[in-house]
Amino acid sequence: MKGFVDEVVILCAGEQIARHRRAYGTGTFVFEPLHYLALIETKPNALDQAAALKDWDLPEAFQHLRHLLEARMGNRGKREFIQVLRLMEAIPMEIVASAVTGSDPARRHRF
């Protein structure tokens, strides 16, 4: 682990596996939601209580998708929603969000 003024870098065998903003307040935690999704996938009912996801600022379309999936598929829909969130482990949020909303980010900038 390496500590810097504004961030903490976690290494494993010399390879960076995580990078977090640093917080100096007493009892202050800084979570990276993406780091918790694999664990939450094993316990999907923890999705609503997970502190790591509490302040995650996702576009409204994600909540709409979650409600649709859960209404149609119940608990399996919650698992599907978590898998959509996990796409952001490998794909930038903007691209996943455009897929969720059905918009084409390349088309938005064409006139």
pLDDT of 38-89, one tens digit each? 889 999 999 988 888 888 889 999 999 999 999 999 999 999 999 999 999 9
The highest-confidence range among 13-17, 22-26, 96-100, by mean pLDDT, is 96-100
Q: What confidence score (pLDDT) does residue 111 get?
A: 37
- 20, 7 in Cβ contact below 8 A? yes
CA 68, 71, 73, 76 dihedral sign is: positive
d(Cα 37, Cα 33) in Å, to the nearest integer? Answer: 7
Q: What confidence score (pLDDT) does residue 110 get?
A: 46
Report the candidate in 66, 23, 27 with the shortest Cα–Cα distance to residue 48.
Answer: 66
